[in-house]
Amino acid sequence: MPIYEYECRVCKEKFEVLRYVNTTDDDNVRCPRCQADKPIKVVSLFSSGSSNKTTRAGCGSTGST
């Protein structure tokens, strides 16, 4: 389940909501501080990592002369 970030249009409170993936109804989301409806969905940054180490080959380098 993804976590969506919102900002209240009224009090500017930023908050997160854990939602099911197939849930697209943002009309039921309310600000936890002032209970205003229809907050702004904020674009979140994320990163992903891997335990695999990769090496970068030189561009056009074949190792032969």
Q: What is the pLDDT of residues 25-41, one digit of tens each?
A: 677 899 999 999 999 99
Asked if 12 contacts 34 with a C-beta cutoff of 8 angstroms, the reply is no
The owner of tokens 């900002």 is: 7
Q: What is the pTM of this model?
A: 0.61
Extract the residue ranges of the chain whose pLDDT is less than 70. 21, 23-25, 46-47, 51-65
pLDDT in the model for residue 34: 98
The residue among 37, 14, 49, 22 whose CA lies nearest residue 6 is: 14
Contact of 1 with 20, CB cutoff 8 Å: yes
Instruction: Identify the pLDDT of residue 29.
Output: 92
